[in-house]
A and B are shown apart, each in its own frame.
Chain A
């Protein structure tokens, strides 16, 4: 095994998975002078941001179709530059009345509602952004460890507490009252307008197995509002060059830091002996040693597929099996022979985010069937026209449409194979209602259900957050208590994916935090 010997001296760390979090971890480790190897099973890096041609001449840039929580500390530190000069409004359509259009960061100004209603929305938004800001302090660092609360944790708690009382007792009281409420009750307290309520209900529950009236559903909206764009909470953008530019930016950062990325290289097993990880064995049998292994894949993949359960322990294995990670959202890519026209929507607003949701009740009723393993027959969705930002995605004059459609439960009672055509028809009929004539311009439509997402991106459950973002799977419980600080029951094995704190979305934080945590320890 000479290759083993030479390899054992070669790498300080192996990162499994070249998604953006794996690349962020690798870049951070590489920049500190460590020799890092990234292993990616697919033929190209990018993880869930891997693009593909879904119809001849039409490309999709991957699962995500906009950015709303890319962390500025991460991008600054790793030298990632992703900016956009064009604003991205959010339009909420009900297929009938004038659209409600939010401009600026989550509604600095709002068209289509009365001045009073816009003011009420901004009051609610500002309150929620303030409260999200309290929680945000906990996102850029490892979550506190029960039984081992350190000075830095206490400082974070103190600064959160100080931040709370600085604004007066009333704000503190409101935060302690509201934080575990459901988004519907909060929306009802502040708003009258159906579609503004529909928007916050949709944003709070997108990607999460909760309806607006489910307890704690407000956490999803907080999570969204902890994201910022150009210093503004609740903003969103598509970078210059489109979403296809995101993965390359992370890849460039990693390569600049001296990281070696090997694609088409599937890891078969993580080598661990008596609680200590020492390398990986590839699917083809080759063994590569390193003192630090960073799993930037779904926690269930890492611990149920790659690690011998005897090494991690039955309690740990059981808690990972119980991880709630069944996806709720389907991704639709449509190839169109021209730019579609949504009812009453200004041409410039077509470049923004378009939400099809009539009312909070529609979101709630869309959720009901999902509880029983059925898809919504009147679904709600978020639409973006990606080719408007990145012309290379479609032939000249043509257009692509990307939609995240809710709710589409992973385990469908009737099975997705049998049900997918019907669900696709329902979605396309919904599109036709909101953009009359769009059906005739459809060249191809490709629907990825959570079952497809699971298979295409190796995401158990097809859940893009790597597990539900709910109170029982956040902070000290993400993904599970014993692995919540990026460390795992196996020494030398770290978790750095969206399944780790602070969770999913394109933030780069799980990977970057994990790397910082590794670097804070003694160099092995």
Chain B
């Protein structure tokens, strides 16, 4: 749970706040079937109820609320099954296994087509490293020098 407006008040009208929550666990399917709007609303209610236990009166302060289950995340930003890391960060999908063995070098089975999402090494989170690493590999294939590449951090 974070309240970014405590750092950047311009995100909301004066006196108002914005709060964002990541909630565990929320599988891409509910008992084997797709999420429905009713499921989503019920889950939201569970979450609000729990927050209200820690913060009395919380419910009455809500002006507007948006809930994104893996279904919404997949629909809105195209993340398969709503996985924010584009694939589990378990050993069988890390390092030389990311995203799959044999294609962990940002190259794909198709010449000239490269991959550089969170699904590639070193994985998800806002770090820019997969993109930067992929760019270095592309430069290598083009036989171009890469010493002028910026640090991922500077770009972001």
A and B are interacting partners: yes
Interface size class on chain B is under 10
Cα distance, A178 to B90, chains bound together (Å): 11
Question: Is the Cβ of A173 less than 8 Å from the Cβ of B92?
Answer: no
Cα distance, A499 to B96, chains bound together (Å): 33
Cα distance, A176 to B102, chains bound together (Å): 11
Contact of B90 among A170, A174, A181 (CB under 8 A): A181
Contact string, A160-203, partner B, CB cutoff 8 A, digits 1/0? 00000000011001101111110001000000000000000000
Contact string, B66-106, partner A, CB cutoff 8 A, digits 1/0? 00000000000000000000000011100011000110000
CB contacts (< 8 Å) of B102 on chain A: these are 169-170, 173
CB contacts (< 8 Å) of B101 on chain A: these are 173-174, 176-177
Contact string, A58-96, partner B, CB cutoff 8 A, digits 1/0? 000000000000000000000000000000000000000
CB contacts (< 8 Å) of A179 on chain B: these are 91
Q: Which of B91, B92, B97, B101 counts the most A-chain CB atoms under 10 A from its CB?
A: B92
> Which residues of A come within 8 Å of B, CB atoms?
169-170, 173-174, 176-181, 185, 215
Cα distance, A167 to B92, chains bound together (Å): 20
Query: In the assembled complex, how far is the CB of residue B103 from the closest CB belonging to chain A, in whole angstroms?
Result: 10
Cα distance, A181 to B90, chains bound together (Å): 8
Query: In the assembled complex, how far is the CB of residue A359 from the closest CB belonging to chain B, in whole angstroms?
Result: 14
Query: In the assembled complex, how far is the CB of residue A134 from the closest CB belonging to chain B, in whole angstroms?
Result: 16
Cα distance, A295 to B46, chains bound together (Å): 55
Contact of B97 among A169, A170, A177, A215 (CB under 8 A): A177
Count: A-B pairs, CB below 8 Å: 24
Query: In the assembled complex, how far is the CB of residue A185 from the closest CB belonging to chain B, in whole angstroms?
Result: 8
Cα distance, A170 to B90, chains bound together (Å): 20
**Can you list 24 A-B contacts (CB < 8 A)?**
A169-B102, A170-B102, A173-B96, A173-B97, A173-B101, A173-B102, A174-B101, A176-B96, A176-B97, A176-B101, A177-B92, A177-B97, A177-B101, A178-B92, A179-B91, A180-B90, A180-B91, A180-B92, A181-B90, A181-B91, A181-B92, A185-B92, A215-B90, A215-B91
Cα distance, A176 to B97, chains bound together (Å): 8
Q: Which of B90, B96, B101 counts the most A-chain CB atoms under 10 A from its CB?
A: B101
CB contacts (< 8 Å) of A177 on chain B: these are 92, 97, 101
Query: In the assembled complex, how far is the CB of residue B93 from the closest CB belonging to chain A, in whole angstroms?
Result: 8
Cα distance, A180 to B88, chains bound together (Å): 13
By Cβ-Cβ distance, the 4 closest A-B pairs, closest first, are A173-B101, A180-B91, A181-B92, A177-B97
CB contacts (< 8 Å) of B96 on chain A: these are 173, 176
Cα distance, A185 to B101, chains bound together (Å): 16
CB contacts (< 8 Å) of B91 on chain A: these are 179-181, 215
Cα distance, A169 to B102, chains bound together (Å): 9
Cα distance, A178 to B92, chains bound together (Å): 6
> Which residues of B come within 8 Å of A, CB atoms?
90-92, 96-97, 101-102
Nearest CB to that of B101 among chain A residues?
Answer: A173
Query: In the assembled complex, how far is the CB of residue B105 from the closest CB belonging to chain A, in whole angstroms?
Result: 13
CB contacts (< 8 Å) of B97 on chain A: these are 173, 176-177
A174-B101, A181-B90, A181-B91 known, 4 other contacts, Cβ within 8 Å: A170-B102, A173-B101, A180-B91, A185-B92
Query: In the assembled complex, how far is the CB of residue B139 from the closest CB belonging to chain A, in whole angstroms?
Result: 26
Query: In the assembled complex, how far is the CB of residue B17 from the closest CB belonging to chain A, in whole angstroms?
Result: 38
Cα distance, A161 to B97, chains bound together (Å): 18
Cα distance, A447 to B102, chains bound together (Å): 51
Query: In the assembled complex, how far is the CB of residue B113 from the closest CB belonging to chain A, in whole angstroms?
Result: 21
Query: In the assembled complex, how far is the CB of residue B135 from the closest CB belonging to chain A, in whole angstroms?
Result: 25
CB contacts (< 8 Å) of A185 on chain B: these are 92
CB contacts (< 8 Å) of A174 on chain B: these are 101
Cα distance, A215 to B91, chains bound together (Å): 9
Cα distance, A179 to B95, chains bound together (Å): 14
CB contacts (< 8 Å) of A215 on chain B: these are 90-91
Cα distance, A185 to B87, chains bound together (Å): 14
Nearest CB to that of B93 among chain A residues?
Answer: A177
Cα distance, A173 to B96, chains bound together (Å): 9
Query: In the assembled complex, how far is the CB of residue A441 from the closest CB belonging to chain B, in whole angstroms?
Result: 40
Nearest CB to that of B100 among chain A residues?
Answer: A177
Nearest CB to that of A181 among chain B residues?
Answer: B92
Cα distance, A215 to B93, chains bound together (Å): 13
Query: In the assembled complex, how far is the CB of residue B137 from the closest CB belonging to chain A, in whole angstroms?
Result: 19
Query: In the assembled complex, how far is the CB of residue A472 from the closest CB belonging to chain B, in whole angstroms?
Result: 14
Cα distance, A170 to B92, chains bound together (Å): 14
Query: In the assembled complex, how far is the CB of residue A229 from the closest CB belonging to chain B, in whole angstroms?
Result: 30
CB contacts (< 8 Å) of A176 on chain B: these are 96-97, 101
CB contacts (< 8 Å) of A170 on chain B: these are 102
Cα distance, A43 to B102, chains bound together (Å): 59
Nearest CB to that of A169 among chain B residues?
Answer: B102
Cα distance, A180 to B97, chains bound together (Å): 12
Cα distance, A461 to B138, chains bound together (Å): 56
Nearest CB to that of A218 among chain B residues?
Answer: B92
CB contacts (< 8 Å) of B92 on chain A: these are 177-178, 180-181, 185
Cα distance, A75 to B97, chains bound together (Å): 40
Query: In the assembled complex, how far is the CB of residue B153 from the closest CB belonging to chain A, in whole angstroms?
Result: 31
Cα distance, A173 to B105, chains bound together (Å): 14
Query: In the assembled complex, how far is the CB of residue B107 from the closest CB belonging to chain A, in whole angstroms?
Result: 15
Cα distance, A181 to B96, chains bound together (Å): 15
Query: In the assembled complex, how far is the CB of residue A515 from the closest CB belonging to chain B, in whole angstroms?
Result: 35
Nearest CB to that of B95 among chain A residues?
Answer: A176
Cα distance, A421 to B126, chains bound together (Å): 54
Query: In the assembled complex, how far is the CB of residue B24 from the closest CB belonging to chain A, in whole angstroms?
Result: 16
Cα distance, A154 to B53, chains bound together (Å): 59
Query: In the assembled complex, how far is the CB of residue A177 from the closest CB belonging to chain B, in whole angstroms?
Result: 5
CB contacts (< 8 Å) of A178 on chain B: these are 92
Nearest CB to that of B91 among chain A residues?
Answer: A180
Cα distance, A316 to B102, chains bound together (Å): 42
Query: In the assembled complex, how far is the CB of residue A190 from the closest CB belonging to chain B, in whole angstroms?
Result: 14
Cα distance, A490 to B96, chains bound together (Å): 41
Cα distance, A179 to B91, chains bound together (Å): 9
Cα distance, A181 to B91, chains bound together (Å): 7
CB contacts (< 8 Å) of A181 on chain B: these are 90-92
Nearest CB to that of A215 among chain B residues?
Answer: B90
Q: Which of A169, A177, A180, A181 counts the most B-chain CB atoms under 10 A from its CB?
A: A177
